Structure 1
Amino acid sequence: MWNRGAIIALVALLLSSTVQAAPFWGEKQSRPVDTPLVDLAPGAWIWGGDDKRGGPMAVIVSLTEQRAYVYRNGILIGVTTVSTGRPGYETPTGVFTVLQKDKDHHSNLYGNAPMPYQQRLTWDGIALHAGGLPGYPESHGCVHLPTEFARLLFDASNLGMTVVVSQADKAPISVVHPGPLSPIDATTGADLDIPRLADGSAWRWSEDAPTDGPVSLVLSRSDRLLVVYRNGHEIGRSRVELAEPGRISGTRAYIVASDAANAGHYTPSSAPATETSPKMPNWIAIGVPGYREASGQRVPAEVVNQVRVPDGFKARALPLLTPGTVLVATDAHFSTQTSGEHLRVIDSAAPHSWLDDILTE
């Protein structure tokens, strides 16, 4: 005779055996941020770092490229290879929002198959989650991600995050082949048509720019352009001059130091500070993948002075440079349509623990 405890244990064992253990898909660590995306093998990915205080988040899934791009406050912070729906189970295109999150989800349709770090996009089964990555579309409609990338995205995202699924001939080229700056509105998923600076115009600033929210800046050395984002919206862009263009290369990220660290802040030699004009704060390097050794190093004044911007633009931008503001400098062109250079992924913030240390030092 079996006792009651043995029966309960047997039932529990039988039930647990119907739930498949999740394998680990894809690479375990990020590739360097300057890795050309064409060199990302199936399962490879790049994650530059993130902080939820950095602004609204959005994801673009390119069915054409079989890659997904993650943006925070308008700036690219991660990119990964994916596997989407195979013929007969095609992943639908369009604008979606994250409806539900389940870290340990198992499929109700496919024999309790594991779908770790699931972020549901539709109630009929389309989601982002960790899964197989053979290098071509093979899912039943979901977007498969490398396991560690799926975890990072799951931890960084929130319910309601915008996800745009694009495909050639069904979306603008800027959304099918995204660049360092987000081509969509993070709130609505609508395509953004950001006009270029007019000929002869050195800079522009939005008259209806948001007055609050996190600020991020992106500098393209190749385009000689500096773009400012606030709370997910571009609020200004300016042509720049580089005193020594070849002095620093690659994708580098910097953060404005805390008020205490800024006590001895310096001013660019090209525009000496006055009693009424704001001063340039101190910048500290963020150790992104490929440049970890630079983490925490203060950026010398002569390096900051390499970048020269018009006085009118500087007068509007400098007051926004508060502790936690991030600047990313890259060799990549902002528009992938005008350059044969491979897109380089860029970082928008430091990892939480390191960023907290900087802001509270």
Structure 2
Amino acid sequence: MTRIALALLALLAVAPTALAVPSWGAKTSRPADTVPAALHPGEWVWGGDAKAMGPMAVVVSLTEQRAYVYRNGLLVAVSTVSTGKPGHETPTGVFTILQKDKDHRSSKYNDAPMPYQERLTWDGVALHAGGLPGYPVSHGCVHLPTEFARLLFGATNMGMVVVIAKEGVSPSELVHPRVASPIDPGTGKEVLAAPLGVQEQFRWQPERAPTGVLSLLLSTSDGRLFAYRDGKEIGRARVGFRDGAAPAGTRAFMVADGVAPATAPSWVEIGIPGQEAASGTVVARAEEDKILLPPGFRSQLQPLLRPGVVLLVTDKHVLADTTGASLQVLNADPPEL
């Protein structure tokens, strides 16, 4: 065999390896009750998602090296990231997705693979799968675990808002996000709702989002129920619990199909990561009756509890003055009934 033929065979032998796209990070989600600060480089939590739930937004904390994904005001996913290294810092600010390319390769850096690219600026900043050593290493992009990037790519729409925040530059609520979205999903601007007054039992402001899908968040630690529509808070109320202590842990529920708006809703449990076995469990009426709401708030909320409305119940704090590092992630996938 000639030397030329041997050289060609050698090139063919290495070609598949040279063209292969690497895979970065964990292959599967950590349990939903994993504290974000406990995620190791490359780890992530994806609670599930459904576009029908409402608008999505992403907050990237350069300080924490994590990305937080919100759907209709509620946290649905969180991931470790790697952002721009010194000299190539990732810019802070409010961005929108300008372009999506599942199989993108860099035109700047030796045709380097950038799978599931979601472009934020025309000069090269994007979300995409990439290396995750536990510290900033990119040339300005936000590196994500491959499987997380794939799920995010499928969930997002063109024009979706991405906020990138950093300690000393951005508000604390954006640098250290929590279970309720700190931004308006349409504009990316920070949203801080005033707490209830000492004598205020509830607040109801449906005009803030006249239409859209409803989502509910109940913090048993704060004793508050929050209502979100189109990603905006439209109401909050004080909550009490009959017959003993409030439930512990985190659970997600959904109003079942076939429930008429005029009747009391029937709730079924959604299996969040780490608690999949609970999926489809029907909530007993006696358990629902343990939650005590101001009558005025209940009467406003009741007509909106249609099939598909999601309720996240958590024993973690949501209020800004009591929020700790522990967050919970909601699964929006319908249970199999």
Equivalence for 1:88: 87
Give CA-to-partner distance per residue, 1:159-203, whole Å, 9 cap, x none.
000000000111111111011110100000011121111111010
Q: 1:238 to 1:285 in 2, by over 3 A?
A: same
Separation in 2, partners of 1:66, 1:216: 28
Q: 1:317 to 1:191 in 2, by over 3 A?
A: same
Q: 1:105 to 1:87 in 2, by over 3 A?
A: same
Kept in 2, the 8 Å contact 1:326–1:348? The answer is: no
Q: Which of 291, 313, 325 does residue 342 from structure 1 map onto?
A: 325
Kept in 2, the 8 Å contact 1:255–1:324? The answer is: yes
Give unpaired runs (5+ residues) of structure 1: 1-5, 264-276
Q: CA deviation at 1:279?
A: 3.5
Amino acid at match of 1:70: V
Residue 54 (1) aligns with residue 53 (2): yes
Give CA-to-partner distance per residue, 1:290-317, whole Å, 9 cap, x none.
1100001101111111211000000010
Kept in 1, the 8 Å contact 2:247–2:315? The answer is: no
After TM superposition, the score normalised by the length of structure 1 is 0.86
Equivalence for 1:321: 305
Give unpaired runs (5+ residues) of structure 2: none
Q: CA deviation at 1:349?
A: 1.2
RMSD: 2.2
After TM superposition, the score normalised by the length of structure 2 is 0.92
Q: CA deviation at 1:248?
A: 3.1
Residue 304 (1) aligns with residue 288 (2): yes
Equivalence for 1:114: 113
Kept in 2, the 8 Å contact 1:20–1:112? The answer is: no
Equivalence for 1:266: none
Kept in 1, the 8 Å contact 2:220–2:246? The answer is: no
Kept in 1, the 8 Å contact 2:269–2:280? The answer is: yes
Q: Which moved more, 1:300-309 or 1:241-250?
A: 241-250
Q: CA deviation at 1:280?
A: 2.2
Percent identical: 53
Amino acid at match of 1:225: R
Equivalent residues in 2 for 1:123-272 (5 A)?
123-206=122-205, 208-244=207-243, 246=245, 248-259=247-258, 262=259
Kept in 1, the 8 Å contact 2:55–2:71? The answer is: yes
Kept in 2, the 8 Å contact 1:19–1:106? The answer is: no
Separation in 2, partners of 1:319, 1:191: 30
Q: Which of 247, 264, 273 does residue 280 from structure 1 map onto?
A: 264
Aligned pairs, number:
330
Separation in 2, partners of 1:149, 1:280: 37
Q: CA deviation at 1:243?
A: 2.2
Kept in 2, the 8 Å contact 1:180–1:345? The answer is: yes
Q: CA deviation at 1:332?
A: 1.2
